[in-house]
Amino acid sequence: MHSPPTTSSDRHAARKALRAALALAALSTLLLVLVVASWAPLMTLDGDIARTTHRWAVEEYGLTRTSRILTDWVWDPVTMRALGAVTVVWMVWRHALWWQALWVVVTVALGTLLQQGLKAAVDRARPVWPDPVDSAHYAAFPSGHAMTAAVVSGLLLWVLRPFARRTLWRAGLVLAVVSVVGVGLTRVWLGVHWLSDVVGGWLLGGLVVVLAVLSYRKWGTELGRRSPGPFGGSAAGPGAGPGTAGPGSAGPAGPANGPA
């Protein structure tokens, strides 16, 4: 079976997504190189921000306690992945979106592998304080909390866009942005990450989401049409073909629990 012909709007959306992927890849690579090379201006900036926020965190007990609750329970990678798992079950149970659900699962898993692989390869030390307000283990770059939040939030926005009314989807977009930005700021505030760790997590998370959407548009929808059994039929998703506003055409807005 051949894919329906693409329209100019499809090609324009694909070019935009490709440009976004290239930009995110370039920025992620640049930041990674600067971190590995311990580029002095970046190290100085990281240190200045870390010392300032740590001083505030020690002084502002109430805000620090709230940050710990948010980062340990609300925006924790386990919580985010659980939210993704619930969404995957809903996709299969209510809409038979087998292939797109599989795409989400694989993307989250690959994002986690990338995150942990970079942590092991870069092996960047976390900030160390004589009077810590929180603790974390394993290497610092990239921030697992920030990257997981970006991956899961981006994927959920992509998946849910065809099913949510515009007002509801925009509310979800605001909530996703607050979650992704918020968890990154709490990691810096609590003194367990450098700012560049968090920025690296955001960039890499966004890159993973964009690549997932692009690859699904290229291969996932066609697999859903052609594959027999539980992965066949309309499992590629409603409106997933070119020229529609289905999951396959929606761009990202910009999960095993590992150290973060």
* pLDDT tens-place string over residues 209-219: 999 999 998 88
Domain boundaries, the chain: 8-249
Is residue 103 within 8 Å of residue 159, measured between CB atoms? Answer: no
The reported pTM is 0.84
Is residue 119 within 8 Å of residue 231, measured between CB atoms? Answer: no
Query: In this model, does residue 237 exceed pLDDT 80?
Result: no
In angstroms, the CA 253 to CA 217 distance is 16
Across the range 232-253, mean pLDDT stands at: 41
Work out the burial of residue 24: count CB atoms within 10 Å of its CB; fewer than 13 is exposed, 13-18 middle, 19 or more buried.
buried
Is residue 158 within 8 Å of residue 100, measured between CB atoms? Answer: no
DSSP 201-230: HHHHHHHHHHHHHHHIIIIIHHHHHH--GG
pLDDT digits (tens, 9 = 90+) for 5-17: 556 776 777 888 8
Query: In this model, does residue 203 exceed pLDDT 70?
Result: yes
Residue 165 or residue 126, greater confidence? 126
Q: How high is the mean pLDDT of the chain?
A: 86
Cα 150-115-186 angle, rounded to 5 deg = 50
* Phi, psi of 103, deg, nearest 5: -60, -40
What pLDDT is attached to residue 7?
67
Query: In this model, does residue 151 exceed pLDDT 80?
Result: yes
pLDDT digits (tens, 9 = 90+) for 42-86: 999 999 999 999 999 999 999 999 999 999 999 999 999 999 999
What pLDDT is attached to residue 67?
97
In angstroms, the CA 110 to CA 122 distance is 18
Work out the burial of residue 128: count CB atoms within 10 Å of its CB; fewer than 13 is exposed, 13-18 middle, 19 or more buried.
exposed
Distance of CA 112 to the CA centre of its chain: 10
What pLDDT is attached to residue 232?
46
Going by C-alpha positions, the residue among 77, 81, 114 that lies closest to residue 203 is 114
Across the range 121-140, mean pLDDT stands at: 95
**Helix orientation angle between 8-36 and 98-122, rounded to the nearest 10 degrees:** 20
Across the range 21-41, mean pLDDT stands at: 98
Provide the 8-state DSSP code for 232: -
Distance of CA 68 to the CA centre of its chain: 21
Highest mean pLDDT: which of 100-104, 230-234, 249-253?
A: 100-104
Query: In this model, does residue 224 exceed pLDDT 90?
Result: no
Across the range 29-45, mean pLDDT stands at: 98
Residue 254 or residue 55, greater confidence? 55
Polymer length of the chain? 260
Contacts of residue 1, Cβ cutoff 8 Å, sequence gap at least 6: 222, 225, 226
Contacts of residue 192, Cβ cutoff 8 Å, sequence gap at least 6: 126, 127, 134, 135, 136, 140
